[in-house]
Structure 1
C-alpha cells in the first residue's frame, strides 16, 4: 500500500507536490477506506482539472518510479539518459522523489534525487519502532559513488561502480540479491496506462497486449468477459483467440486477439473481431486489463483519463470494484484522472485532488485542504460554479 508520495521539479511541477493517501480520523468512514492499526488511507483518489493543467504529469511519478526501481537496470542502455524531464524552467536543477509505502506489515521510505544523466542520491529506509533506519544509502560525490548499507547485502565495491542511470534496487534484483525482491514485487504491482511521454493513447496494439495478458490469466479473462457483457456494449461474451501473421521478414508469429460474441433476441449469434468493435468497446477492453489485474493481485492502478471513450455511467461501476471487499480482497488502490465532474458526487473531499497551472507551473491540492469547505457541501455544484478552481478559463 502506498501511504504518500512527494516530488518536485518533475515535468510541469516545479515546487514540492504531495499525493497523500492518508485521511486522518475526522472524515466519515466510507467503503474506500483502508484501516491499518487505527490509521486510515484512501483506496481511491480522483484527479480533476482543465486540459493542459498537469493532471497526467501528476500521475507520472508513480509510473516513473515503477519503471526506475523495477526495470531500469535491464531496461535501459548503459549510456542512455534516464527517461524523464525536469521542469523546463529549472532543468539545471535535480528532481526529487520521496515515497512512503508498506510491504506486509512494515513501513518503508524510498528517497531519490537525480538528473536525466545520473542518480545523485538514492536511499531506502525501514521503520523500526517510531523511527526510520536506512537499509542502504547511495550518494554521488566528485570521487564517484559512496555506498553504505545495513541489512541490504549488495557488495559495496559493486554498488559504488554501478552506472548512474539505474536504481540500485533494480541492479540488486538482477544480481539475485534476495533482499531486493519484495521491493521489485511491490513496484511491479503499479499498473498504469501512463508512460514517460504521457498516456499511452489507444491503438490496436493495445488490444493485442491486453489479450495476451488475459490469455495468461484465465480467471481475469473470465471476469473481463463478464464485465464487458454487463456494460451494455451489445456483447454476450468475449473470446480470445490465437492467430498467426507474418512479420516484415516473412516469419510467422502468433498473437492473441479478442472477438466479441453478439446474440440477438431471437437467439441468433454473430461475432466481430475487436478491431471492428466500437472505440468505446475497445477502450473498455484495454482499460480492464490493468484494473482487474490490480484488483486480483493488490497494488495500485494509476489510470489517466479513466473515462476516455467510456460512458460516464461506467466510471461508478469501475470504482465500486475497489470499494467492496468481495471485489477488492487485497485492498488495492486506484488513482485516476478524468473529465467527468460527476465523480465529485461519488467521492468525498479527501479523495479528490484538483490541478491547475499558473505561470507555466502546475500545482495540486486535495479538497479537504481548502478552508471553509464542509463535508456536506455539494462538491459537484461548487466545482461547476467555479468556486473550487481547476476549471478552464474560457
Structure 2
C-alpha cells in the first residue's frame, strides 16, 4: 500500500503509572519481519509497516481493559476540551472520557505523574506526542513530527510545568503561551489557532473510535445510516454473517429500530429489541467498524467478542486484514476472551498480545512474538496458540492451571 490515502494510523503507544500498570509498558503496532500473512499487513514504505489488527488476551483483572483505557485516557484528554468548545474538525464517532488514575498499590507511584508517549501517522507525517499528568494537571508535554521516511525531526512545542517553548515552525509572538494547567497545549492550540501541524494531529485524535461492550448500554447506541451505499454494506455484511436481514427502518411513532426480512415474497418486521443478543451486538458494532474501514480510522474496542460466535469474530478480523477491503490503513485493537479464535490461521504472532498480573499486583503486557521458549527460541508460527495458552505456556495464566490439577480442585 502506498502512503496515498493512508491516514490516522497508530505506530506505537507506551505508558507508565496508569491504573494496574506501574512500570513502562509498550504496545507496538509496527509489524515484525515475519513471513506469515505478509500480504495482510499495511505497507508503508519507506517507513515501517504496520499491523491492521491486534488482539489482547488474558484473565479478568490482568489488565486488558486498563491497557485500552490508558490509550483512551490520552485520546480523551486531548479531545474533550476541543469538543466542549465545539472546535472539532473531524466527526466524532464514539469516544468516552477516561480519568487519569495512577498505580495505587505503591505509596510512591500514587503521587507520581502518569506518562504517555504516542507515535502516530497522518497526512504524510509521523508525530511523536508526550504527555505527563498528575491530579489532572499537565506536568510536561511535547509534540514533534517528521516526514514519513525522513530523518529530520521538527519540534512543534515543548512544555515543562508553566514554561512553553515553541518550535521554529509555529514560533510567533501572536501565539499565547499562557494556558490552563489542566488543558493540554495541543488542545489549546487546536481551539485557538489554525496551524497545519496542529490541525493534522488534532484530526488524528478525533478520528479514533472507542467502544466498550463491557457496558450493556453500548448496544443501545446504534449508528445505522440512511446513506444507500453504507446501508447496502451493512446489510451485505450481516447477510455474510448468516443474518438474513434485507432492510431496516426507524419508526418515529414507537421510537424503535425495525429490522426487515423477506420470506416467500412477503416482508416481515421485527423490533431491534426482540432480536437475539448476538444479532443486536452485530447491528450495533458493524456500522462503526465499516466507518473505520471506509475512512482509515483506528477502532479501539473492549470485549469485541462478547455475545459473538467465533466465526463472526473471525469475519470482523478478516475485514481489517483484507487489503482489498481495508484500502486506507484502518486498524482494529480489541480485547477478547475467545480462545477459539487464537489460531495461527487467524493471527500473526505479533498480532496477539497478553495482559497479566505480575509482581505486586502490577500488570504486564507482551506479544506472543516476544515470548521465548526455554531454549531461547521464539514460539513457532505453526504452534497451536490456543492449546499452549490454556496450558499456561504464555504466562498470562488463563485460570485453569491454578484451579485444576489432575481433574481435582486445589
Tell me the CA shift for residue 4 of structure 1: 0.6
Q: C-alpha distance in 2, partners of 1:151/1:229? A: 51
Describe the SS at the equivalent of 1:260: strand
Q: C-alpha distance in 2, partners of 1:178/1:239? A: 43
1:234-249 map, 5 Å: 235-241=244-250, 243=252
Kept after mapping to 2: 8 A contact 1:70/1:169: no
Q: Counterpart in 2 of 1:300?
A: 298
Describe the SS at the equivalent of 1:239: strand
Task: Please give the per-residue CA displacement for 1:217-271, whole angstroms capped at 9, x wherever unaligned.
Answer: 54333211222233223x32241325268xxxxxxxxx7x43211233x333321
Q: Alignment partner for residue 181 of structure 2, among 151, 154, 164? A: 164
Q: 1:154 to 1:189 in 2, by over 3 A?
A: farther
Kept after mapping to 2: 8 A contact 1:350/1:367: yes
Q: Alignment partner for residue 389 of structure 2, among 367, 383, 394? A: 383
Q: Counterpart in 2 of 1:75?
A: 84
Q: Counterpart in 1 of 2:215?
A: 201
Q: Alignment partner for residue 132 of structure 1, among 132, 138, 153? A: 153
Q: Counterpart in 2 of 1:261?
A: 260
Q: Counterpart in 1 of 2:93?
A: none
Kept after mapping to 2: 8 A contact 1:153/1:177: no
Q: Alignment partner for residue 85 of structure 1, among 93, 98, 101? A: 101
Describe the SS at the equivalent of 1:210: coil
1:140-219 map, 5 Å: 140=161, 144-152=162-170, 158-160=176-178, 162-179=179-196, 180-194=198-212, 201-203=215-217, 206-207=219-220, 209-211=221-223, 214-215=224-225, 217-219=227-229
After TM superposition, the structure 1 stretch with the greater mean CA deviation from structure 2, 108-117 or 217-226, is 217-226
**Is it true that 1:356 corresponds to 2:356 in the alignment?**
yes
Q: C-alpha distance in 2, partners of 1:31/1:381? A: 26
Q: C-alpha distance in 2, partners of 1:102/1:221? A: 30
After TM superposition, the structure 1 stretch with the greater mean CA deviation from structure 2, 150-159 or 182-191, is 150-159
Q: 1:148 to 1:72 in 2, by over 3 A?
A: same
Tell me the CA shift for residue 40 of structure 1: 2.2
Q: C-alpha distance in 2, partners of 1:356/1:220? A: 39
Provide structure 1 residue ranges, at least 5 long, that are not aligned to the other structure.
Answer: 246-254
Task: Please give the per-residue CA displacement for 1:49-76, whole angstroms capped at 9, x wherever unaligned.
Answer: 1112111111122222222222334439
Provide structure 2 residue ranges, at least 5 long, that are not aligned to the other structure.
Answer: 1-8, 86-96, 404-410
**Is it true that 1:224 corresponds to 2:234 in the alignment?**
yes
Q: C-alpha distance in 2, partners of 1:121/1:30? A: 39
Q: Write out the 4+ residue segments of structure 1 that deviate beyond 6 Å after TM superposition.
A: none
Q: C-alpha distance in 1, partners of 2:328/2:200? A: 16
Kept after mapping to 1: 8 A contact 2:123/2:200: no
Structure with greater strand percent? 1
Describe the SS at the equivalent of 2:280: helix
After TM superposition, the structure 1 stretch with the greater mean CA deviation from structure 2, 376-385 or 363-372, is 376-385
**Is it true that 1:28 corresponds to 2:36 in the alignment?**
yes
Tell me the CA shift for residue 117 of structure 1: 2.5
| TM score, norm. by length of structure 1 | 0.85
Kept after mapping to 2: 8 A contact 1:238/1:258: no
Q: C-alpha distance in 2, partners of 1:311/1:273? A: 22
Kept after mapping to 1: 8 A contact 2:247/2:261: no
Kept after mapping to 1: 8 A contact 2:40/2:323: no
Q: 1:64 to 1:221 in 2, by over 3 A?
A: farther
Aligned residue pairs total 366
